[in-house]
Amino acid sequence: MDFAAILVAAGSGVRAGPGAAKQWRDLGGKPVLRWSAEALLAAGAQSVVVMVQPADRALAEAALAGLSHWYLADGGDTRTASVRNGLAAVPLTPDVIMIHDAARPFLEKRHVDSLLAALAEADGAVPLLPVADTLKRGADELHTVSRDGLSRAQTPQAFHADVLRKAYATLGDDERATDDAAVVEAAGGRVIGVDGDPRLMKLTYPEDFDMAEALVSAGRGVRIGQGFDAHRWGPGYAVWLCGVKIDHDAALIGHSDADAGLHAITDAILGAIGEGDIGDHFPPSDPQWRGASSDIFLSKAAELVRGKGGRITNVDVTLVCEQPKIKPHRQAMRERVAEILNIAVDRVSVKATTTEGMGFTGRGEGLAAQAIVSVETST
């Protein structure tokens, strides 16, 4: 059956603690929203309509950059209102519509397949988990509540498209429901359960993110890449190194801005993820890169890492030169590299050394840079 998905990402996520709303927070190197969108698309969704607050459209576009078949629509003040808006925005006429919480990032194709199979005998299907803990009501005086027959409902929830649309059409404008199965049930639809999965956990509280990071890290590996670059000295009045402009009595000669530090880091990142080298992505024969800022090259390498679901865990670069003196600018270099890569400053190291007068750097003919980068990926 063809299916489209509505991805609900319009909430404020205040229970997740200070900081950005949970759908925009980083998890394993990419925003939580992207995890959910990628999973739905990989499972075969024809389209994914992403419900966000109008003020968050730019965040969503950045989080989903590089993916296809997704659309943005304005979320409402409640989850019910957001889904109602999403139904109006779903393109084409799919057989099935799934609604998924963006804050459940660990969706897999098997979950989707199970729901689609269940729709052969029902109007809707919902993943359910049994309630394992004893239930209590109250705080100062506790009362035990029977858990017999109770389950926890997860998402995605899947419905025949026509049934879901009719159910929402009968819902009053001011009515709201905590999930979509309740809307279909109230309209007389038959909804059945399928096996849920603890990994479909919803990120709600700060400690949930610690658990999610642990789950991500458990299936990840570390890759190491190294990069080297060198440029000769020529006439000029300044040099760019690790994204910082330093006044000097000479300049490094190159097709771009000849920032050997950023070039070495870029090549190290590309090497770690098996994406060739800087010349493959920004060939010196291409005139558009003449005099270009090397920030562009490093940003592209970081984007490729994120596109693979990875994250850069640390950078160590060594500049080899007699001049200029690096130490006065080292902290600014660390901060600039960290800014470009969107990582903490304490994950960036910049060092300098000389060759004691030996070789081309010792003779003052040029400057060299060597970098080592570690990248954490899921493959």
Give mean pLDDT, residues 5-33: 81
Q: Last residue of a domain, which of 174, 200, 218?
A: 218
Same domain for 76 and 176?
yes
Same domain for 102 and 182?
yes
Q: Give residue 11's pLDDT.
A: 79
Q: Which helix (H) or strand (E) holds 315?
A: strand 311-320
Same domain for 115 and 14?
yes
Q: Give residue 72's pLDDT.
A: 96
Same domain for 243 and 211?
no
Q: pLDDT for 63-102, tens place per residue?
A: 998 889 999 999 999 999 999 999 999 988 899 999 999 9
Q: Rounded to an integer, what distance in angstroms lies between the CA atom of residue 157 and that of residue 78? A: 17
Q: What is the 3-state secondary structure (H, E, C) of 238-250?
A: EEEECCEEEECCC
Same domain for 213 and 232?
no
> For 110, phi and psi rounded to 5 degrees?
-60, -30
Query: β-strands 221-234, 366-377: how paired?
Result: antiparallel
Q: pLDDT for 213-265, tens place per residue?
A: 788 776 668 899 999 999 999 999 999 999 999 999 999 999 889 999 999 99
Q: Give residue 289's pLDDT.
A: 84
Model confidence at 284, pLDDT cuts 50, 70, 90, reads confident
Domain count within the chain: 2
For residue 265, the domain's CATH number is 3.30.1330.50
Euclidean distance between the first and the last CA atom of the chain, given in angstroms as a whole number: 31
pTM confidence score: 0.65
Q: Last residue of a domain, which of 218, 236, 251?
A: 218
Q: Rounded to an integer, what distance in angstroms lies between the CA atom of residue 54 and that of residue 154? A: 26
Of residues 20 and 144, which shows the higher confidence score? 144
Give mean pLDDT, residues 103-115: 94
DSSP for 110-145? HHHHHHHHHTTSSSEEEEEEE--SPEEE-SSS-EEE
Please name which of 160, 108, 166 lies closest in space to residue 1, comparing C-alpha atoms: 160
Q: Give residue 6's pLDDT.
A: 97
For residue 128, the domain's CATH number is 3.90.550.10
Q: Last residue of a domain, which of 218, 236, 264?
A: 218
Q: Give residue 283's pLDDT.
A: 85
The domain containing residue 84 runs over which residues? 3-218
pLDDT(16) > 60: no
Same domain for 82 and 150?
yes
**CA gyration radius for the chain?**
26
Q: How high does pLDDT run on average in the chain? A: 91
Q: Please give the structure tokens belonging to residue 222.
A: 């570390």
